[in-house]
Amino acid sequence: MFEKANGSAVTDDAGKADGISEVRRQEALLKTGALQNAILTSANFSIIATDEKGIIQLFNIGAERMLGYQAAEVVNKISPSDIHDPQEVIARAQALSLELATPITPGFEALAFKASRGIEDSYELTYICKDGSRFPAIVSITALRDDYGDIIGYLLIGADNSIRKQVELELHDAMAVAEKANLAKSDFLSSMSHELRTPLSAILGFAQLIESGSPSPTVSQRRSVDQILKAGWYLLDLINEILDLAVIESGKLSLSLEPISLAEVLNECRAMIEPQAHKRGISVRFPWFEVPCFVKADRTRVKQVLINLLTNAIKYNKVGGAVVVDCVENVPGRTRISVQDNGEGLSTDQLMQLFQPFNRLGQEASLEEGTGIGLVVCKRLIELMGGAIGVESTVGTGSVFWLELNLTDERAVAADVVEPVTVPQVKVQANALLRSVLYVEDNPANLMLVEDLMARRSDIRLLSARDGISGIEIARASLPDVILMDINLPGISGIRALRILADDPTTAHIPVVALSANAMPRDIEKGMEAGFYRYLTKPIKVNEFMETLDLTLAFAKTEAIRLHKEKRA
């Protein structure tokens, strides 16, 4: 009795369990059916199913809403390719033919080719509605197969792509406007650089002439000239830093990342800053590299950053202080260059404001000149080169500014060593042949400055022209040894004049040196690409100008000898 009752209880439990399972199965089927029905009746996307030949067999409510056809108008009658833009279908067939090296027939085959080969595919084409209107769509297509793996049709799920296309169009238009604005900004910066440098060229040029003139200026005059030069070079630094920052922020800065030797760069920096350190009684110690160390960076810009950090370390150091430069591999693949000083140090608040433009951290009233821009430019430059920059400081002890750059196993390509040409300064006999230099310049002050400089050279005869056309005529008539050429000239530009001279066999051999206030990096690059022998920027640095002139005259003499030998041969 007990066993029977117990057995009946087991049977009843099993029946109930089976009943519950069946109910759940039916609920799952109903739920699946409801989901399938919701998908097929969704108005938010089109679902089109075809047979294996590409004839429409199913056309859901979403397809009806999007395309304006009723299902009865298309089922068993047309292919999806018939409601696509025919030119786009042809273009897709041609693109697939090139990509797969297989001829593809325009039509449904072009739409289903990848899917028929088991390749997941989606494409963007234009749907053509019943009323002739059009809209862009993105369509996903999948092959439908039976239990044996044979294709029995295709499923195309499409969505209206109009909003995305509109956003893309608006983004494209916005980018075009931004590009136009950036171009205008670049042109403005180039023009502003030129306009600011032109008057500075006269101020600094004539001040240098007075400083080095004969007889030497009096003590009082020298003091005045020193102030003019100090203020002028400071103003030039300010202009350069502002323009540098503006170019970086506009995204127009061009960097040349290549393997550079840190030892070489630091040695060059050392030569540049040691006189400044010695003048202030600051000792400077640089690291010794037992093993060559190379980083991937822009050589010119790395020097610019290091010179800025070293100059600051000297400028804001204490009397008799020291600057220590160190270089260690801080993390694998990167090297850290640090510049440590014994200055007053920076507080926490000052550190938080350090890389803000025009913020001098309370140094505005100090005797030390500064713009508050240099460190901002340094930060942007190092980050553009894939590095990092930072500072550690203790009030009363000093600061350590550091920068990190990516190491590389590559080695810098050794540049051909060119021996400097030394032009001996000899007394020129009265009947000796003078070297001739033609200066093409429309600014009277700049012309007067070079005339005064050339007056100190008894071996040079200076010719001048006020525009490019007359400059070309004088060059053809007198065949000068060297031509100095401004860029912004009335009539034709200096670059155009250079090309005309280069295309003329009688003047093609004459080296032309650009002497221009167009000093933006892209201006210099453009000038050198045009074929200038050298490119000097205004304001003129007298020593640099004279050295370049001597170098160019020596080159001209060598070229003249070479041409003479070729003619004799």
List pLDDT tens digits, range 391-444: 999 898 899 999 999 999 877 554 433 333 333 333 444 444 689 999 999 988
By C-alpha distance, which of 420, 419, 390 is closest to 402? 390
Residue where the block lists tokens 């009030």: 395
Instruction: Examine the domain organization and report whether 101 and 201 are in the same domain.
Output: no
Identify the domain containing residue 179 by its residue range: 175-249
HEC letters along 508-541:
CCCCEEEEECCCCHHHHHHHHHHCCCEEEECCCC
With respect to residue 415, please indicate whether it lies within any of the assigned structural domains.
no
Residues 400 and 393 sit within 8 Å (Cβ to Cβ): yes
Instruction: Examine the domain organization and report whether 183 and 111 are in the same domain.
Output: no
446: domain CATH number is 3.40.50.2300
Question: How confident is the model at residue 361, as a pLDDT?
Answer: 53
**H or E, element range at 337:** strand 334-340
Minimum mean pLDDT range among 372-386, 413-427, 477-491, 547-561: 413-427
With respect to residue 170, please indicate whether it lies within any of the assigned structural domains.
no
Residue 188's contacts (CB-CB under 8 Å, 6 or more residues apart) are: none
pLDDT digits (tens, 9 = 90+) for 293-312: 899 998 888 988 998 899 98
Instruction: Examine the domain organization and report whether 153 and 227 are in the same domain.
Output: no
With respect to residue 354, please indicate whether it lies within any of the assigned structural domains.
yes
Instruction: Examine the domain organization and report whether 401 and 278 are in the same domain.
Output: yes
Give how many domains the chain has, as a whole number: 5
Q: How confident is the model at residue 240 (pLDDT cuts 50, 70, 90)?
A: confident
Instruction: Examine the domain organization and report whether 93 and 22 are in the same domain.
Output: no
Question: How confident is the model at residue 563, as a pLDDT?
Answer: 81
β-strand 512-516 against 534-537: which pairing, if any?
A: parallel
Instruction: Examine the domain organization and report whether 276 and 334 are in the same domain.
Output: yes
Minimum mean pLDDT range among 1-5, 130-134, 237-241, 554-558: 1-5
Instruction: Examine the domain organization and report whether 217 and 269 are in the same domain.
Output: no
Q: Which two tokens stand for residue 500?
A: 């005309």
By C-alpha distance, which of 539, 523, 548 is closest to 445? 539
With respect to residue 422, please indicate whether it lies within any of the assigned structural domains.
no
Instruction: Examine the domain organization and report whether 274 and 205 are in the same domain.
Output: no
Instruction: Examine the domain organization and report whether 240 and 338 are in the same domain.
Output: no
Residue type, 85: D
Instruction: Examine the domain organization and report whether 536 and 492 are in the same domain.
Output: yes
235: domain CATH number is 1.10.287
With respect to residue 419, please indicate whether it lies within any of the assigned structural domains.
no
With respect to residue 277, please indicate whether it lies within any of the assigned structural domains.
yes
With respect to residue 418, please indicate whether it lies within any of the assigned structural domains.
no
**Is the model's pLDDT at 4 over the cut of 50?**
no
With respect to residue 353, please indicate whether it lies within any of the assigned structural domains.
yes
DSSP state of 458: T
pTM of the model: 0.49
Question: How confident is the model at residue 547, as a pLDDT?
Answer: 93
Instruction: Examine the domain organization and report whether 189 and 265 are in the same domain.
Output: no
335: domain CATH number is 3.30.565.10
55: domain CATH number is 3.30.450.20
Instruction: Examine the domain organization and report whether 269 and 296 are in the same domain.
Output: yes
